[in-house]
C-alpha cells in the first residue's frame, strides 16, 4: 500500500505543478573547448521554455562540417514548477586549425527571435601523426600542452584512452617525478572520435603539471588498468538479428595499458627585465581597479577596489599593499580569492579593497598599485598597474574638521560632533618625582610593618595575663597571712558584734581570694564549700555569722561577747587548716 502512495503523490504534484513556458532561452554548449583535427566535437543547442521553437540556425560554422545527431527533450520539476527544454545535437568535424567562435544560434518562437551565446573552440594539429595509424583497437596517449615551461607554470598533461570496444577503467597510475606535481582538472571527459574510418570511445584525463624548479624532466609512462568488453558474435541461426550491441553477451577482459613517456624542459625565470615585485606569478592575467565614490566629505570613506584575475598559478597572486597616504587613513579589507579549475587550467580572481577615510578637504591622488607576472607564451614579464585615481574631498558637515578648516556653520542644534583629525602620543612627564620611585619596601621592612601590630596585640595579651598572675600570687600571699591578721585583730579589739562580723568577713574575703567586699552567711558558706572546706566548720561559721548579723541588724552591735569571739577564732583556725589541706585556690 505504501509503495502505491508515493507515485500517486508524485503524480498529484505533477498535476498541481505550474508549467513555465514563458521564459524562453537558447544556449550553445560544446563538450570540449580544445580539439584536434582528427577529433569530433559534440555541439548542443538547448532551447528552454518552449517546445514550439523553430529549428535553430547556428552562425559561424564555416570551420567545421556539421552533422545533425538528433534531438531530445526533457522535463524538469523544480520547486513545484515544470520547465521543458529541447536539445538539438550536432557532431562537428574540424576542417582546419585555429580558434573558432561558433554561434550565436537563433530560434523563432511565436514570431519572436531568440539568440544564444557563443562558444569558442580551439582546433589543434592532428593528434595522430603519420606512422601511428596502426595504433590498434585499444591504446593510451599522453600529451603535454607545451614542451617548455617555467617554474610554477601550469602545463596541461593529458591522457587519452582510445578504445574501439566498450571499456571500464579501473585504476590509473600517474608518473611520479621529483619536483613535479600533478593536479587533476575537473572530471574525465568521454567522447567519441573517428580515426582512419574507425570509431573510438575516448576517455580523457587532464592534469595541471607544475614544476617547482628549473630543469629537464622526463615523465615515465602512465599506467592504466581497465576491463574491455569485445563483442562476441551470437550464432547466426537467428538470421543475424541478435548481432547487435543490445544482445552483446561479451565477457570482460582485464587489460593493462601504458602511455608513452613525455619530456618537459623547465626554464629558469629570465633575468632580463625581471620586475622587483615579481612573485613567481606565471600565466596570463589582467587587473581592474575602481574607486567608489570618487568624491566624499572629510571623515567619510571611499573604497578602492583592485581585482586581479587570470589563468595560471593563480594562488600566487600577491596581496597588494597600499602605501601611506598623508591625510588619509587607510583600512585594508580582507582580500577575497576564488579559484575555478577547468580542463584548460586554473582560473582565479583576487579582489582587494581598501577603505580610505580622508581627514581633510582637498584632492588626493591615489598611487597606482601594480603586479607583475611572466607570460609563458612570450617569455617576457608584464606589469599590470591600477589607474591613478583622484579622490576629491569636501569639507565635512558635522565634524570638527570643517570647523578647523573654516568650513560651514554648525549643525541645526548648534553643536558639532568632534572628530579626531590626528593622533600622536602625549608628551613626556617632567616631574622630579620620577626619579624617586615609590617602590615596595624591602621584605624585612614589610614583615616588620605587618607583624609589629601582631606583636603589639600579643604583648598586650601577655602583659594582662602576667598582671593577673601577679594579682593571684599576691592574693595567695595575703591568704596565707589572713588567719594571723584576723587573730591579731580579734585579740586587740573589744569583742563587739559588728566589729567581729566585719573582721571575719575580711578574713574570709582575703583567705578565699575573692573580689567581693562583704559576704552574707549563705555566700560565705557557698564559697567555703567550693574552696574545699569541710561542711561542719563551714556550717558553724555560717551560724556564727548569722548570729552576729542578727545582733547588728537588731541594733545590738555594741554587745561584747568574748565567748563568741573565741568560738569565731577557733572556727577560723579550723577553716584555715582545712583550706590548707585542700587544694590551694589559684
Q: How many helices (H) and strands (E) does the chain have?
A: 7, 32
Per-residue interface string for the shown chain with another protein, residues 428-457, x marking contact by CB under 8 A: xxxxxxxxxxxxxx----x--xx-xxx-xx
- CB nearer to another protein: give 245 or 433: 433
In the complex, the smallest distance separating the C-beta of residue 435 from another protein, rounded to whole angstroms, is 4
- CB nearer to another protein: give 8 or 440: 440
Q: Which of 5, 6, 426, 517 binds another protein (CB under 8 A)?
A: 426
Per-residue interface string for the shown chain with another protein, residues 483-502, x marking contact by CB under 8 A: --------------------
Grid coordinates belonging to 259: 602511455
CA 194 to chain centroid = 54
Q: Does 18 bind another protein (CB under 8 A)?
A: no
- CB nearer to another protein: give 328 or 528: 328
Per-residue interface string for the shown chain with another protein, residues 244-273, x marking contact by CB under 8 A: ------------------------------
Q: Does 471 bind another protein (CB under 8 A)?
A: no
Q: Please write down the long-range contacts of 431-438, taking CB distance under 8 Å and 24 or more positions apart.
A: none
Burial, 162: exposed, middle or buried (Cβ in 10 Å; 0-12, 13-18, 19+)? buried
- CB nearer to another protein: give 434 or 492: 434
- CB nearer to another protein: give 271 or 424: 424
Secondary structure class of 553 (helix, strand, coil): helix
- CB nearer to another protein: give 13 or 456: 456
Judge whether 302 and 296 are in contact, CB under 8 Å: yes
- CB nearer to another protein: give 241 or 467: 467
Q: Does 134 bind another protein (CB under 8 A)?
A: no
Q: Does 323 bind another protein (CB under 8 A)?
A: no
Q: Does 422 bind another protein (CB under 8 A)?
A: no
In the complex, the smallest distance separating the C-beta of residue 415 from another protein, rounded to whole angstroms, is 25
Around Cβ 236, how many Cβ atoms within 10 Å? 10
Q: Which of 357, 354, 356, 355 is nearest to 401 (CA)?
A: 357
Which range, of 96-104, 284-292, 420-428, 481-489, touches another protein by CB under 8 A?
420-428
In the complex, the smallest distance separating the C-beta of residue 438 from another protein, rounded to whole angstroms, is 6
**Sign of the four-CA dihedral 44, 45, 50, 56:** negative
In the complex, the smallest distance separating the C-beta of residue 428 from another protein, rounded to whole angstroms, is 4
- CB nearer to another protein: give 106 or 335: 335
What angle (nearest 5°) sits at the alpha carbon of residue 494, between those of residues 492 and 498? Answer: 115
Q: Does 464 bind another protein (CB under 8 A)?
A: yes
Judge whether 311 and 284 are in contact, CB under 8 Å: yes
For residue 104, whether the previous peptide bond is cis, meaning omega lies within 30 degrees of 0, is yes
In the complex, the smallest distance separating the C-beta of residue 144 from another protein, rounded to whole angstroms, is 34
Judge whether 273 and 261 are in contact, CB under 8 Å: no
Between the two ends of the chain, the Cα-to-Cα distance in Å is 107
Compute the distance between CA of residue 92 and CA of residue 29 in angstroms, rounded to an integer: 12
Compute the distance between CA of residue 584 and CA of residue 409 in angstroms, rounded to an integer: 102
In what side-by-side order are the strands of the sheet with 295-297? Answer: 295-297, 390-394, 362-365
Per-residue interface string for the shown chain with another protein, residues 379-418, x marking contact by CB under 8 A: ----------------------------------------
Q: Does 470 bind another protein (CB under 8 A)?
A: no
Burial 182-194 (b: 16+ CB within 10 A, else e): beebeebeebebe
- CB nearer to another protein: give 6 or 436: 436
Compute the distance between CA of residue 247 and CA of residue 240 in angstroms, rounded to an integer: 11
In the complex, the smallest distance separating the C-beta of residue 422 from another protein, rounded to whole angstroms, is 11
Compute the distance between CA of residue 222 and CA of residue 143 in angstroms, rounded to an integer: 11
In the complex, the smallest distance separating the C-beta of residue 372 from another protein, rounded to whole angstroms, is 24
Q: Which of 326, 427, 555, 586 binds another protein (CB under 8 A)?
A: 427
Compute the distance between CA of residue 97 and CA of residue 121 in angstroms, rounded to an integer: 10
In the complex, the smallest distance separating the C-beta of residue 113 from another protein, rounded to whole angstroms, is 57
In the complex, the smallest distance separating the C-beta of residue 460 from another protein, rounded to whole angstroms, is 4
Q: Which of 262, 266, 147, 157 is nearest to 212 (CA)?
A: 266
- CB nearer to another protein: give 5 or 440: 440
Q: Does 324 bind another protein (CB under 8 A)?
A: no
- CB nearer to another protein: give 324 or 413: 324
Residues forming the site for another protein (CB under 8 A): 423-441, 446, 449-450, 452-454, 456-457, 459-461, 463-464
Amino acid at each position: 500500500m505504501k509503495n502505491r502512495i508515493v507515485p500517486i503523490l508524485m503524480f498529484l504534484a505533477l498535476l498541481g505543478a505550474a508549467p513555465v513556458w514563458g521564459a524562453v532561452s537558447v544556449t550553445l554548449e560544446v563538450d570540449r573547448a580544445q580539439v584536434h583535427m582528427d577529433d569530433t566535437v559534440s555541439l548542443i543547442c538547448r532551447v528552454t521554455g518552449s517546445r514550439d521553437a523553430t529549428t535553430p540556425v547556428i552562425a559561424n560554422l564555416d570551420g567545421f562540417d556539421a552533422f545533425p545527431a538528433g534531438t531530445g527533450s526533457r522535463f524538469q520539476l523544480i520547486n513545484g514548477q515544470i520547465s521543458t527544454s529541447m536539445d538539438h545535437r550536432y557532431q562537428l568535424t574540424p576542417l582546419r586549425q585555429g580558434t573558432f567562435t561558433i554561434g550565436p544560434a537563433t530560434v523563432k518562437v511565436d514570431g519572436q527571435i531568440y539568440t544564444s551565446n557563443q562558444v569558442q573552440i580551439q582546433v589543434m594539429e592532428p593528434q595522430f601523426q603519420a606512422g601511428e595509424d596502426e595504433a590498434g583497437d585499444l591504446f593510451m596517449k599522453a600529451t603535454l600542452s607545451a614542451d617548455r615551461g617555467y617554474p610554477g607554470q601550469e602545463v596541461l598533461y593529458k591522457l587519452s584512452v582510445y578504445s574501439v570496444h566498450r571499456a571500464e577503467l579501473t585504476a590509473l597510475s600517474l608518473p611520479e617525478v621529483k619536483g613535479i606535481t600533478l593536479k587533476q582538472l575537473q572530471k574525465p571527459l568521454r567522447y567519441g572520435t573517428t580515426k582512419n574510418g574507425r570509431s573510438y570511445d575516448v576517455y580523457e584525463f587532464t592534469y595541471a603539471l607544475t614544476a617547482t624548479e628549473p630543469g629537464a624532466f622526463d615523465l615515465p609512462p602512465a599506467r592504466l588498468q581497465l576491463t574491455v568488453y569485445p563483442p562476441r558474435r551470437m550464432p547466426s541461426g537467428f538470421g543475424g538479428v541478435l548481432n547487435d550491441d543490445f544482445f552483446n553477451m561479451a565477457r570482460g577482459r582485464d587489460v593493462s595499458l601504458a602511455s608513452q613517456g613525455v619530456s618537459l624542459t623547465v626554464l629558469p625565470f629570465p633575468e632580463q627585465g625581471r620586475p622587483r615585485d615579481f612573485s613567481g606569478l606565471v600565466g596570463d592575467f589582467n587587473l581592474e581597479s575602481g574607486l567608489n565614490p570618487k568624491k566624499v566629505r572629510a571623515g567619510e570613506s571611499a573604497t578602492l577596489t583592485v581585482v586581479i584575475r587570470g589563468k595560471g598559478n593563480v594562488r600566487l597572486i600577491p596581496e597588494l599593499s597600499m602605501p601611506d597616504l598623508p591625510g588619509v587613513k587607510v583600512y585594508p579589507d580582507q582580500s577575497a580569492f576564488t579559484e575555478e579549475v577547468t580542463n584548460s587550467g586554473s582560473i582565479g580572481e583576487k579582489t582587494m579593497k581598501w577603505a580610505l577615510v580622508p581627514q581633510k578637504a582637498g584632492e588626493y591622488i591615489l598611487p597606482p598599485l601594480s603586479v607583475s607576472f611572466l607570460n609563458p607564451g612570450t617569455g617576457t614579464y608584464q606589469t599590470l598597474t591600477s589607474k591613478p585615481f583622484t579622490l576629491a574631498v569636501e569639507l565635512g558637515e558635522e565634524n570638527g574638521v570643517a570647523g578647523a578648516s573654516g568650513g560651514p556653520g554648525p549643525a541645526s542644534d548648534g553643536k558639532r560632533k568632534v572628530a579626531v583629525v590626528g593622533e600622536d602620543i602625549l608628551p613626556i612627564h617632567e616631574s622630579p618625582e620620577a626619579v624617586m620611585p615609590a617602590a615596595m619596601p624591602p621584605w624585612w621592612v614589610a614583615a616588620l610593618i605587618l607583624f609589629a601590630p601582631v606583636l603589639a596585640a600579643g604583648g598586650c595579651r601577655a602583659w594582662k595575663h602576667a598582671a593577673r598572675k601577679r594579682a593571684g600570687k599576691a592574693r595567695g600571699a595575703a591568704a596565707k597571712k589572713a588567719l594571723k591578721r584576723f587573730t591579731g585583730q580579734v585579740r586587740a579589739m573589744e569583742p563587739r558584734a559588728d566589729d567581729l562580723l566585719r573582721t571575719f568577713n575580711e578574713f574570709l574575703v582575703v583567705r578565699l581570694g575573692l573580689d567581693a567586699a562583704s559576704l552574707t552567711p549563705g555566700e560565705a558558706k557557698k564559697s567555703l564549700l567550693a574552696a574545699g572546706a569541710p561542711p561542719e566548720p563551714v556550717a558553724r561559721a555560717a551560724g556564727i555569722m548569722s548570729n552576729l548579723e542578727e545582733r547588728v541588724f537588731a541594733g545590738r552591735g555594741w554587745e561584747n561577747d568574748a565567748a563568741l569571739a573565741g568560738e569565731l577564732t577557733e572556727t577560723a583556725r579550723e577553716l584555715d587548716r582545712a583550706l590548707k589541706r585542700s587544694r590551694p585556690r589559684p
